[in-house]
Amino acid sequence: MIMSLTLFHGPLSGRPAEANYRIEGPAHRLFFDDFPRRVRAKYAGQTLLDTRRGKLLHETGLLPQLYVPRQDARFDMLEATDRKTHCPFKGDACYWSVRVGERAVQNAVWAYPQPSEAAAWLRDYIAVYWATMDAWFDEDEAVEGHLRDPYHRVDVRETSHHLRVCVQADVVAETKRPKILSETGLANRYYVPPADIRADLFEPSATQTVCPYKGVASYRALRIGDQRIEDVAWLYAEPLPDAGKIGGYLCFDLAEGLTIEIDGAPVPGRKDK
Domains of the chain: 30-143 (2.170.150.40), 154-266 (2.170.150.40)
Instruction: Give pLDDT < 50 ranges for the chain.
Output: 1-2
**Residue 194 · residue 173 · CB < 8 Å:** no
Q: Can you give the pLDDT at residue 1?
A: 35
pTM for this model (two decimals): 0.81
83: Cα within 13 Å, side-chain hemisphere: 15
CA-based torsion, 237, 220, 132, 147: positive or negative: negative
Overall size of the chain counted in residues: 273
Q: Can you give the pLDDT at residue 4?
A: 74
Q: Can you give the pLDDT at residue 273?
A: 55
Q: 31-62: string of b/e by CB count within 10 Å (b at 16+)?
A: beeebeeebbbbbbeeebbbbeebbbbbbbee
Write the CA distances from 22 to 13, 26, 193, 268, integer angstroms. Answer: 13, 12, 45, 32
